Chains A and B, each alone.
Chain A
Amino acid sequence: MTFLTLDYFDLGLAATLVLVNAALSLYLGLGLERRFLIAATRMAVQLTLVGLVLKALFNIASPLLTALAALCMILFAGREVMARQERRFIGWWGYGLGTSVMLTAALLVTIFGLSTQVRPDPWYDPRYAIPILGMILGNTMTGVALGLHTLTNDAARNRAGIEAQLALGATRSQALRSTARGALRTALIPIINSMSATGLVALPGMMTGQILSGIDPIDAVKYQLLISFLIAGGTGLGALAAVQAGAWRLCDNRHRLRLDRLTDSKS
């Protein structure tokens, strides 16, 4: 296995393209030059720090530190899910719902992939566990955020229709069925589209990275397929759990629609 190493001059040369973008923004009066430079600097600092953390984590290979890193990733993802909601649940539910479903779905699927397909030794080897969890978590986060966003917005928009069904004796699951289905469809369509387009429209980053680092393309494809299947599983499981739990929280035990459990629309 061979790969061409990059030195800091190579990275600096590539970074000039960001400077070109900033210059273009300045020339065209877009007002984006400052944001371009800040975003690129942030990316460089964040990735360097992550690289250092991962290097230390891989060297130590401690189950406790691996679990701690996984927990940090999930907590950040939970915050991101909450931030993407136009109407979020009030109180602990606002943060806890997305975080707990991602904790369950992403961890279950990652452990399933590690213990039955990748099978590193030890099974929690951070060199495999952390990147795989990261990829699954990133996609599950998108699915969960989209599902919850659609569920709460549609419930608020279709309040009259949902309450009309409840007033006629429908149970909360009957009254929210169509809203929950719509939310789940919205959550799952990106992963379906992504799988359909993979290989035709775009080469996935992980597969490309492996090929660039000298791995046989067929082996890289196998890894990519495995990860894509795990991502689909994690997203499906996470979105389903989030939408079901969200729909349950939107009504109380007397089958009333409780939009007062949501914050007001930010828009």
Chain B
Amino acid sequence: MLNVENLSRPGLPTISFSLARGTCLAVMGPSGSGKTLLLRALADLDPSSGEVELHDENRNQVPAPSWRRRVSYAAAEPGWWAETVAEHFTNWGKTKQLTGALLLPSDIGVASVARLSTGERQRLAVLRSLEKSPEVLLLDEPTGPLDKAAADAMELLLRQRMQEGVGILLSTHDLSQASRMADRILRFTKIGVEIVST
């Protein structure tokens, strides 16, 4: 589904891999090794060279906004631009039904973003990405600030999406999470990257 050939940008070694429909590739490595740079480059948020294709369609042939709706990136520290939670969603009424699955209160839509906890923001950022029904999710440490119950709920929701065909690149520091979610790990090493099976 997602084919990456010789992807390169400053701060990142040359990377090639492919991601099949409904699978998860965990991205691991020490802090500062380039995990976030890789996800941002795939989302085309930073300039990069190399070939990136989705269903054999080259990224450069697709308008960038359309590409990012299909290959959606959720940052480790998500950004916000409006006062309340619901204002950040195109169809909050529909997304609201998923709040329970991530152990979020159903009335969180009217809450001020400034009053949310880090974990609540993280879960809402993932919901925000899911709202666009992407084919590939690029998740940067989505469970980093979550307690075990919320992290389990997140993993369950992501597995459901994978069963529906969504491919996931999951940046994580948690090897056991990588083993649970992914069948392969893209690992940043001192000399570059290697892809190993879980």
Q: Which of B69-77, B150-158, B176-184 contacts A (4 or more CB under 8 A)?
A: B69-77
Residues of A contacting B79 in the complex (Cβ-Cβ under 8 angstroms):
158-165
Q: Residue A169 at the B interface, CB < 8 A?
A: yes
Residues of B contacting A21 in the complex (Cβ-Cβ under 8 angstroms):
none
- With beta carbons under 8 angstroms apart, the residue of B64, B72, B74 that contacts A256 is B64
Q: Is the CB of A158 within 8 A of B45?
A: no
Among B69, B77, B81, the one with the most A-chain Cβ atoms within 10 Å of its Cβ is B81
Range of interface residues on B (Cβ < 8 Å): 20 to 34
> Measured between C-beta atoms, what is the minimum distance from A205 to chain B in Å?
42
Q: Residue A220 at the B interface, CB < 8 A?
A: no
Q: Residue B17 at the A interface, CB < 8 A?
A: no
Q: How many angstroms between the C-alpha atoms of A234 and B189 in the bound complex?
A: 57
Q: Is the CB of A168 within 8 A of B80?
A: no
Q: Is the CB of B45 within 8 A of A166?
A: yes
Residues of B contacting A169 in the complex (Cβ-Cβ under 8 angstroms):
65-66, 68-69, 72, 132
Q: Is the CB of B81 within 8 A of A158?
A: yes
Q: Is the CB of B64 within 8 A of A168?
A: no
Q: How many angstroms between the C-alpha atoms of A156 and B78 in the bound complex?
A: 15
Q: Residue A43 at the B interface, CB < 8 A?
A: no
> Measured between C-beta atoms, what is the minimum distance from A162 to chain B in Å?
7
Q: Is the CB of B78 within 8 A of A164?
A: yes
Identify the closest chain A residue to B89 (Cβ).
A168
Given A178-B81, A255-B65; A167-B46 close (CB under 8 Å): no
Q: Residue A170 at the B interface, CB < 8 A?
A: yes
Q: Is the CB of B75 within 8 A of A167?
A: yes
Taken residue by residue from 156 to 193, chain A's Cβ proximity to chain B (1 for < 8 Å, 0 otherwise) reads as 00111111111111110000001000000000000000
Residues of A contacting B45 in the complex (Cβ-Cβ under 8 angstroms):
163, 166-167, 256-257
Identify the closest chain A residue to B60 (Cβ).
A254
Q: Is the CB of A165 within 8 A of B129?
A: no
Q: Is the CB of B47 within 8 A of A256?
A: yes
Given A168-B129, A169-B132; A161-B65 close (CB under 8 Å): no
Q: How many angstroms between the C-alpha atoms of A235 and B181 in the bound complex?
A: 57
Q: How many angstroms between the C-alpha atoms of A195 and B59 in the bound complex?
A: 51
Residues of B contacting A167 in the complex (Cβ-Cβ under 8 angstroms):
43, 45, 68, 72-75, 129
> Measured between C-beta atoms, what is the minimum distance from A251 to chain B in Å?
10
Q: How many angstroms between the C-alpha atoms of A166 and B74 in the bound complex?
A: 11
Q: How many angstroms between the C-alpha atoms of A170 and B74 in the bound complex?
A: 14
Range of interface residues on A (Cβ < 8 Å): 20 to 34
Identify the closest chain A residue to B77 (Cβ).
A160
Identify the closest chain A residue to B125 (Cβ).
A164
Residues of B contacting A170 in the complex (Cβ-Cβ under 8 angstroms):
65
Q: How many angstroms between the C-alpha atoms of A71 and B29 in the bound complex?
A: 57
Residues of A contacting B75 in the complex (Cβ-Cβ under 8 angstroms):
160, 163-164, 167
- With beta carbons under 8 angstroms apart, the residue of B47, B72, B128 that contacts A252 is B47
Q: Residue B120 at the A interface, CB < 8 A?
A: no
Identify the closest chain B residue to A256 (Cβ).
B45
Q: How many angstroms between the C-alpha atoms of A163 and B74 in the bound complex?
A: 10
Identify the closest chain B residue to A164 (Cβ).
B79
Identify the closest chain A residue to B47 (Cβ).
A256
> Measured between C-beta atoms, what is the minimum distance from B139 to chain A in Å?
12
Identify the closest chain A residue to B68 (Cβ).
A169
Q: Residue B44 at the A interface, CB < 8 A?
A: yes
Taken residue by residue from 31 to 58, chain B's Cβ proximity to chain A (1 for < 8 Å, 0 otherwise) reads as 0000000000001111100000000000
Q: How many angstroms between the C-alpha atoms of A168 and B75 in the bound complex?
A: 11
Taken residue by residue from 245 to 259, chain A's Cβ proximity to chain B (1 for < 8 Å, 0 otherwise) reads as 000000010111100
A–B pairs, 28, beta carbons within 8 Å: A158-B81, A159-B79, A160-B75, A160-B77, A160-B78, A161-B80, A162-B81, A163-B45, A164-B78, A164-B80, A167-B43, A167-B45, A167-B68, A167-B129, A168-B128, A168-B129, A169-B65, A169-B66, A169-B132, A171-B65, A252-B47, A254-B44, A254-B47, A254-B64, A255-B64, A255-B65, A256-B44, A256-B45
A interface residues with partner B (beta carbon < 8 Å):
158-171, 178, 252, 254-257
| A161-B80, A167-B45 known, 6 other contacts, Cβ within 8 Å | A164-B128, A167-B43, A167-B72, A168-B68, A168-B69, A255-B64
